[in-house]
Amino acid sequence: MRYTSLGSGSEGNALVIEARAATQRPTRILLDCGFGVREVVRRLVARGIEPESLDAILVTHEHGDHGSGVARLARRYGIPVHSSHGTGIALRLPDETGVRWRPICSHTRFEINGLDIRPFPVPHDAREPTQFVFSDGRARLGVLTDVGSATPFILDMLTGCDGLVLECNHDPALLAASSYPPSVRARIAGNYGHLSNSAAAAILAAIERDRLKHLHAAHLSRQNNQPELAAAALAAVLNCNPAEILLASQQDGFDWVEI
């Protein structure tokens, strides 16, 4: 199994997960589409992916940086969309002509062409937000972005992953000194907002990490965080050099990683 980020941040998010088998074509899943169709296609092609080859689009929640391009991409290329019921309703997917929406339960695992997908609910200020763990039977990839606080269920779901994409949205001091209105700062820092670097580090410290080979700091705020701060917070938990922490950028995401 391998995965790549097409971009991560408040201006757009998209992640591709690919599971390969010797006897059939790869299964490719697009997790979120917070870019316009032309831009996400450009980013897909840059990773060697034709949009027609996507087997499904999964959506974590309805906020524009994750869901704004979902319906248009799905309609143009005939890609089915999977999301929680609340997310689908918030994105008006049942009303989108030509979109094949497939509601999922945020507590029930399912498969797409042999790729095991385990959704789990998270505290975030959206209709029914969901994050995911993916497995091809040999390796596990955990994705946790857009979450305000940890829960025991989140920690249980992320235990034993080989790869982990983990939100490090903000540094509390930078957020407090930012030009954001007080109400926005409070929302971001709240239990239904986004993870700070230290909160992400606490989650990392609380999960079993014996199999963890690749860790990516994701969804960094351009104004309220700095890459070196996020890397340092996670590296302190792993007792490694901060340079070993991979960063998902807004402009380029990160290239293919195999687990």
Task: Report how many domains make up the chain.
Answer: 1
**27 Cβ partners below 8 Å, 6+ apart?**
18, 19, 20, 21, 55, 112, 113, 114, 115
pLDDT of the residue at 79: 98
Bridging pattern class, strands 163-167 and 140-144: parallel
pLDDT of the residue at 104: 98
The CATH number covering residue 92 comes to 3.60.15.10
Which letter does DSSP use for residue 5 in this model?
Answer: E
pLDDT of the residue at 24: 78
148-174 residue pLDDT tens: 999 999 999 999 999 999 999 999 999
**Residue numbers of the domain that contains 32:** 2-258
pLDDT of the residue at 23: 59
Rounded to 5 degrees, what are φ and ψ at 94? -65, -25
Rounded to 5 degrees, what are φ and ψ at 98? 85, 0
- The answer to whether the CB of 163 falls within 8 A of the CB of 201 is no
Task: Point out the residues of the chain with pLDDT beneath 50.
Answer: none
The token pair that represents 230 in the structure block: 């996020």
pTM: 0.96
Distance of CA 239 to CAs 205, 219, 233, 236, 257, Å? 11, 23, 10, 5, 22
